[in-house]
Amino acid sequence: MSTLTLYHEDSSVFMSLLVLSLVAVALSLPQGPYEHSDPQGPAKYDFNYAVRDDPSANDFGHNEARDGYDTQGSYYVQLPDGRLQQVTYYVNGDSGYVAEVSYQGEATYPAHGGYQ
């Protein structure tokens, strides 16, 4: 009887491992093709962000809006020389980006004592 019990326990372990292996294989099989659908209309979005961190002297931002083929926006950055650089742009159709760059303020540089 002891041999029969041992055989039964071995077959239970074997069956459990077999079932677990089959489940693992079944779960690892591809679950069907990836479905891709085209956008349901023209793109439309708007966003903006700004970063100002005095300890690192970072000050910059960006905003943009798009409605179909019409895209417009601007971004700015505080330059190390003290000027503010601003870029405004737009895109309409296939024209590509059309940008205008402007600067505010006067550039200043630290005075150096010269060579000695």
Higher pLDDT, 23 or 59: 59
- State residue 4's pLDDT score: 46
Over residues 33-53, mean pLDDT: 88
DSSP of 66-101, one letter per residue? Answer: EETTEEEEEEEEE-TTS-EEEEEEEEETTS--EEEE
Angle at 57 between CA 51 and CA 60, to 5 degrees: 30
pLDDT tens per residue across span 54-95: 999 899 999 999 998 899 999 999 999 999 999 999 997 787
